[in-house]
Amino acid sequence: MRWSSPPSWRSMVVTIVAVLACAADAANILAVETMAGMSHWNFMSGVLRALVDNGHVVTAFTPFPAPSDGRRRHVNYTEVDLSRELLPSVNNRLTDVQQMWSTPVGQVYKWLRLSRNACDKIYGHPAMKDALRRHRDGRARFDAVVVEPFLSDCVSYAAGRLRVPLVYVTPLPAIGLMERAYTGHASNPAVASHLVADHGIPRTFAQRLSNAALSAYCAVAVVCANAALRYIEPKEYDAVPPVTPSLMFVNGHYVSEPSNPVAQSVVHVGGIHLKPPEKLPEDILEFIEQSSHGVIYFTFGSTVKMSSLPEHIKNSFIEVLAQIPQRVLWKYEGELKNKPKNLMIKKWLPQRDILMHPNVKLFISHGGISGLYEAVDAGVPVLGFPLFGDQHRNIDNLVNTGMAISMDLFSVSEETLLKHVLELVNNKKYPMNAKTISNIFKDRPMTPAKSVVYWTEYVLRHNGAPHLKSYSLNLTWFQYYLLDVISFAIILISVVFFAIYKMLRFIYKCTSIFYYHILKAKTE
């Protein structure tokens, strides 16, 4: 178990006094990060930071613990290191990432097994076993459980064991594959694109058809795979009934998400990971400020290793970036052959601080939603190369706002790439639209951090707030989709038409007999 830091005794006293002042209302919260992706932890840590800053006591199980530097920033925050159990997924080969996450078709069973394997490792951790023990008087050690869900309902086991409210935190802009199970509702595929669809809005018949097929496939595949794994590999957590969340914090916002109906238990807190910008390192600051034509920032995030791009694609980027007057900051691992003079490469770059500099003119991105919110907040246009998961949808939603252009990485050509880079940099409509979207993004009645604190405390005040949960959670799948009502209506209509048919047939028969006798009488 690892604490996050211990400072001087004076600041410690101040912190303790502040915490004690809130002690009457402070809650003990157990937080679990189940995914070993840095962007996932950035969002989760933003949620936890809001709770900790408000005086709540948080114990966080994470594969990304803070460095042990001998200091302790918060006495009410404890970290448990899961980096050995859940190996952090950073700087992976592009082909490996695409094979694993590009589409749910044929992958749902594998994803569910991955989720259950994570549960095995988390619940097998000695610190977690201790956390799930109750006090001698029967009270739970925690008042709520905050966890990131991923397909398997095994992540709700801790809340079920402790019998406390469950709060889900998803770093994605929409709930996705498990929306019906978590909220009781499923998005209408005619108007809401699936999380892993290649479009932001299903505008055409083909898009609505593929969207409906993808939604139906995922719904059926998840249920079947869950049932199969429970039967083939029964676990201790399978014996505890799944808990539906009292609340869901989603990394969404209506600048990047089309307006859609959501359950009352769903709260959008997109951008909660954003922190005030800090001073840039001297070499980066000098590189940016000495560029009279501005700077382009280029990265594909922490998950994909940029040096694993196919050589012909890397060469296309190098050739195009060498032709433009702007300087380029490129997050790149290792050495780059034939590096242009206007290019600076580093293994790590302070993305948030770079994008907030006024001389940054363009962000070339893979479409991770956290990075896009940083660009939106800074008002910087985006050239997107979506790779997998929700990234196609994320980029397309920004294209619809007029602040981005989307391209396919594997069919990129130098001519098209240069054309789009120059279009985004030189056409004033893109930065103007980006600034407009930025203003909308910042215009909120309450900050994301305050929303997290308010709704978490609301759930605690009202014993899990069951009134926020939809009644549809009590319905079976055929009741929810009105299949019983539709079946009854079909049967009723069939009976009515059958009765009418029989009646008309009887009338016809009677009429035929009547006319037959009249004709016979006339003939005689």
List pLDDT tens digits, range 106-154.
Answer: 888 999 999 999 999 999 999 999 999 877 777 888 999 999 998 889 9
- Give the closest residue to 170 by CA, choosing from 256, 262, 270: 270
List the single range of 131-145, 260-274, 474-488 with lowest mean pLDDT: 131-145
In whole angstroms, give the CA distance from residue 29 to residue 325. 52
Query: What DSSP designation does 58 have?
Result: E
In whole angstroms, give the CA distance from residue 9 to residue 111. 47
Sheet of 295-298, strand order = 343-346, 327-331, 295-298, 360-365, 382-384, 404-406
pTM, entire model: 0.88
- Give the closest residue to 381 by CA, choosing from 398, 356, 357, 393: 398
Q: Three-state SS for 364? A: strand
Q: What is the pLDDT at residue 439?
A: 95
With helix as H, strand as E and coil as C, how does 135-172 read? Answer: CCCCCCCCCEEEECCECEHHHHHHHHHHCCCEEEEECC
Beta-carbon contacts of residue 472 (< 8 Å; ≥ 6 apart):
184, 185, 480
What's the rounded mean pLDDT across residues 268-278? 93
Q: What is the pLDDT at residue 522?
A: 65
3-state helix, strand, coil in the chain (%, to 5): 50, 10, 40
Farthest CA pair distance, the chain: 126
With helix as H, strand as E and coil as C, how does 434-491 read? Answer: HHHHHHHHHCCCCCHHHHHHHHHHHHHHCCCCHHHCCHHHHCCHHHHCCHHHHHHHHH
pLDDT digits (tens, 9 = 90+) for 162-192: 999 999 999 999 888 889 899 999 999 999 9
Q: Three-state SS for 278? A: coil
Question: Cα 38 vs. chain centroid, distance in angstroms?
Answer: 13
pLDDT digits (tens, 9 = 90+) for 307-336: 888 889 999 999 999 999 999 999 998 888
Query: For residue 21, is pLDDT > 80?
Result: no
In whole angstroms, give the CA distance from residue 222 to residue 68. 40
Angle at 302 between CA 76 and CA 403, to 5 degrees: 105
Question: Higher pLDDT residue, 104 or 15?
Answer: 104
Query: For residue 41, is pLDDT > 60?
Result: yes
In whole angstroms, give the CA distance from residue 498 to residue 58. 66
Q: What is the pLDDT at residue 1?
A: 40
Q: What is the pLDDT at residue 308?
A: 86
Per-residue pLDDT band for 524 (boundaries 50, 70, 90) equals low
Per-residue pLDDT band for 466 (boundaries 50, 70, 90) equals very high
DSSP code per residue over 322-348? HHSSSEEEEE-SS--TT--TTEEEES-
In whole angstroms, give the CA distance from residue 158 to residue 243. 9
In whole angstroms, give the CA distance from residue 130 to residue 146. 17
Backbone φ and ψ for 41, nearest 5 degrees, come out as: -70, -35
- Give the closest residue to 192 by CA, choosing from 181, 451, 182, 180: 180
Q: String of b and e for 98-111 (b: at least 16 CB within 10 Å)?
A: beebeebeebbbeb
Per-residue pLDDT band for 102 (boundaries 50, 70, 90) equals confident
What's the rounded mean pLDDT across residues 464-485? 92
Length of the chain: 524
In whole angstroms, give the CA distance from residue 44 to residue 171. 7
